[in-house]
Structure 1
Amino acid sequence: MGERPPGEGIERRAVLDAATWRMIERHFRFDPARDRFRHPMPPLIVEDNSWEMGIDPAEWR
């Protein structure tokens, strides 16, 4: 394989990060719980997300 131009991997990751963030924002809409008067209640959110690309980070360079 040929060597990538400097910065190409970084630019691709930035595009992927932006696309991923847009998908997350569209998919995970927060609708707060409401009390008996239909007032929003304070949220308690505990979540951990992670991704594994299956590519050795050394290959990104």
Structure 2
Amino acid sequence: MRCPKCKAQIGVMNHEIIVETGIVECIRCIICGYYEPRIIQNVMHQRALDLRGATTLHMARC
């Protein structure tokens, strides 16, 4: 995976953040600070509702 801004291959991560309203997938580069959120709808929506407002952050594909 490459950063869209600085083209770095090292330090680029995908994050999935599960909140009550849905899932947000983010691309983050620790080299240049680039951050791009993408909202995923209707994927694992029941799991997000079961959390009842709790926010869980896990690194899905590093």
Task: Tell which structure's C-alpha radius of gyration is larger.
Answer: 1
Q: Which has the higher contact order (CA 8 A, sep 6+)?
A: 2
* Structure with higher helix content: 1
TM-score, length-normalised on structure 2?
0.20
Task: Please state which structure has a larger fraction of its residues in strand.
Answer: 2
> What TM-score, normalized to structure 1?
0.20
